[in-house]
Amino acid sequence: MEQRQLGKTGLSVSVLGQGGAAFGQQYGAVSATEVAECVHAAIDAGVNLMDVAAYYGKGVAEDYLGRALEGGWRDKVHICTKACRLDRDVFDFTPEGTRKCFEASLKRLRTDHVEILLAHDIEFADDYEYVFNETYHVLQQLKKEGKTRFIGMSCYPLGLLKQAIERCDLDVVISYAHCNLFNTRLLTELMPVAEARGVGVMNASPLAMGLLTNQGPQPWFPGQPEVVAACRKAAELCRERGADISFLGMQFAYAQKRIPCTLTGAARKSELEVNLKALSAPVDPQLLADVMKVLDPVRDWTWPCGNWKG
């Protein structure tokens, strides 16, 4: 599998990263055995980055990944996990809370360190200055202690993520739902800032929180109905052509050479195999052009998230 350099970290990461939200039952029940089969198949296919969080299943995702990586598998992957978000509406960005959360993550992951530790969904913080100072400081401390090799932050608003990069000496950030078939603002707005500072960027949610799937987003999706309608129309066009919009969406994300790694959310081996196929299958240029045209009315639309007002 193709590997790309993750900013200034020196890590060479697979273009497809294994996202672990689904490990934590975020999208339906999945067993530890199914997760292990998926993880092992991913590693065998060349995937070397696994992304989880304390929030995913309230620790279940980390526990399942930790189990799956026993028996020598741990040495074959880079682990990225996230602290500070504990539940849908529960956050703790204090140094004490961040450290406590991360120490519990290490136990669940059955390891003494991770490669990447991020402050999770910082747009939900009440005080961004606090995050850029106090939360950032504890991340630095954990790095100095050798418990994580690299540090960073994640969030949805690109304006806030840009500030994080400019204000803090971060190694890695995760952006989600900003590099997909209808929104490429990650490339135009964040990448120039990240590249100038050598910050590695991972692209999460390449199917835009389920918008670019046949099923569509969850009922709680926070975006505009116009976005939902346009993506539904694009999915219908793909079906009429005998194609799947989620497959096309993955192809599009993988093709963005400036993005070191795109995180996919498979929890079962069968789901992983579809994502792997999208890596090598040629894109239908006419289908892509027609889908883009359908999505043009909502091109680069975003929606409010957290407490960010920028």
Residue 111 contacts residue 98 (beta carbons within 8 Å): no
Compute the distance between CA of residue 113 and CA of residue 262 in angstroms, rounded to an integer.
23
Give the residue numbers marked as catalytic.
56
Kindly tell me the burial class for residue 254, based on how many C-beta atoms sit within 10 Å of its own C-beta (0-12, 13-18, 19 or more): buried
Residue labelled with tokens 């969030």 = 155
What residues have CB less than 8 Å from 189, skipping those under 6 apart?
158, 162
Question: How far is the C-alpha of 191 from the C-alpha of 215, rounded, in Å?
Answer: 30
Torsion angle of C-alpha atoms 263, 268, 273, 276, degrees rounded to 10: 10
Place of tokens 């980390």: 62
Listed as own residue / partner, the contacts of 123-127 with beta carbons closer than 8 Å and 24 or more positions apart are 123/155, 123/156, 123/157, 123/160, 123/305, 123/306, 123/307, 123/308, 124/85, 124/91, 124/306, 124/307, 125/91, 125/93, 125/306, 125/307, 126/307
308 touches 268 (CB < 8 A): no
Report which residue type is found at 283: V
Alpha-carbon Rg for the chain, nearest whole angstrom, is 18
